[in-house]
Amino acid sequence: MMLKTAKSLLLATLFSVSTLATAAEPFTLAPLPYAADALAPVIDKATMQIHHGKHHQAYVNNLNGQVATFPDLAQLPLEAIMSRMSRYNDAVRNNAGGHYNHQLFWQIMAPAGQGGEPSTELQKAIERDFGSLVALQNAFNQAAATRFGSGWAWLILDENNKLVVTSTANQDNPLMDVVDVQGTPILALDVWEHAYYLQYQNKRGDYATAWWKLVNWQKVNELHRSALN
Average pLDDT estimate for 116-133: 98
Nearest CA among 108, 76, 109 for reference residue 92 = 76
- Report whether 199 contacts 44 (CB < 8 A): yes
- pLDDT, tens only, 194-229: 999 999 999 999 999 999 999 999 999 999 999 997
User: What confidence score (pLDDT) does residue 147 get?
Assistant: 96
Whats the size of the chain, residue-wise? 229
- pLDDT, tens only, 88-98: 999 999 999 99
- Report whether 187 contacts 220 (CB < 8 A): yes
pLDDT level of residue 68 (50, 70, 90 thresholds): very high
pLDDT exceeds 70 at position 23: no
41 preceded by cis ω (within 30°)?
Answer: yes
Q: Write down the pTM of the prediction.
A: 0.89
Instruction: Compute φ and ψ for 164, nearest 5 degrees.
Output: -140, 135
Nearest CA among 39, 53, 56 for reference residue 212 = 39
Average pLDDT estimate for 62-74: 97
Instruction: Let me know the angle formed at the C-alpha of 191 by 202 and 120, rounded to the nearest 5 degrees.
Output: 125
User: What's at 192, amino acid-wise?
Assistant: W
User: What confidence score (pLDDT) does residue 25 get?
Assistant: 87
Instruction: Measure the CA–CA gap between 182 and 154, rounded to whole angstroms.
Output: 11
